[in-house]
Amino acid sequence: MAAAALASAAAVVALTGCAGLEYQEDICSSGEYPVMSVGGTGSACVSDEQEPPAGFARYPEGKVPQQVGDKWDVYWNTHTLDKDGTIIDAPAAG
């Protein structure tokens, strides 16, 4: 009887123990910031001590993705920056 009660309790913990916890992956590691490719939807992470490499730019202030799948990460899948830093629709893939 005690073994059955322990097994039942273990099953309840296994099924509900992680409920409500959601893991979100950061876009970049600590000490880095995200940059986007100009004219495309590519991105990279750059050391906080460095400027973006050629062909990349910082995200506009207030529109920087922080976690994979967040509002800005999704937004930048269909938008990009032109060479003047203006937000434009991303070119169609293909």
Mean pLDDT of 76-91: 95
Q: What value, to the nearest 5°, has the Cα angle with vertex 45 and ends 69 and 68?
A: 10
Q: What is the mean pLDDT of the chain?
A: 85
For 42-71, the three-class secondary structure string (H helix, E strand, C coil) is: CEEEEECCCCCCCCEEECCCCCCCCECCCH
Q: At residue 73, does pLDDT exceed 70? A: yes
| pLDDT higher than 60, residue 2 | no
Question: Hey, where are the domains in the chain?
Answer: 25-84
Distance CA 44, CA 34 (A): 6
Mean pLDDT of 6-10: 48
13-24 mean pLDDT: 60
Q: Cα(79)–Cα(41) distance, rounded to whole angstroms? A: 7
| Dihedral pair phi/psi, residue 61, rounded to 5° | -55, 135
pLDDT beyond 60 at 87: yes
